[in-house]
Amino acid sequence: MEKLWQRWLFYIDIIIIAIFVVATVYMANDAFWAGYYHDIDRTKFDIAMWHLARDVAFQTASLSWIFYRLFRCQFLLLKKP
C-alpha cells in the first residue's frame, strides 16, 4: 500500500512542478504586458496586473507543496536508522 501512495505522490509532484513552470512563463508574459501598458492604457494594465496576481498565487501554492515535500522527504530519510 505504501508503494501505491509513493507512486501517486510522485505523479502529483510532477504535476505540481509543471504548474510551477507554466505559472512562471505566464508570470513573465503578464509582467511584460503590465509594464508595457503602464502608461498607455489603464484598463489593460489593471487586467495584466490581475493576471500577474493569479500567476503569483499559482506559484506560491505550487512552491509551498514543493518545499513541503522536500523537507518531509528529507526528514523521513534522516529518521531512518
64 in any annotated domain? yes
C-alpha cell at 56: 503569483
Contact 47, 26 (CB under 8 A): no
Q: What pLDDT is stored for residue 42 in this prediction?
A: 87
9 in any annotated domain? no
Structural domain total, the chain = 1
**Domain limits for position 68:** 16-79
10 in any annotated domain? no
Neighbours of 62 (CB within 10 A): 20
Structure confidence by residue, pLDDT tens digits, 59-75: 999 999 999 999 998 99
Structure confidence by residue, pLDDT tens digits, 5-46: 889 999 999 999 999 999 999 999 999 999 888 888 889 899
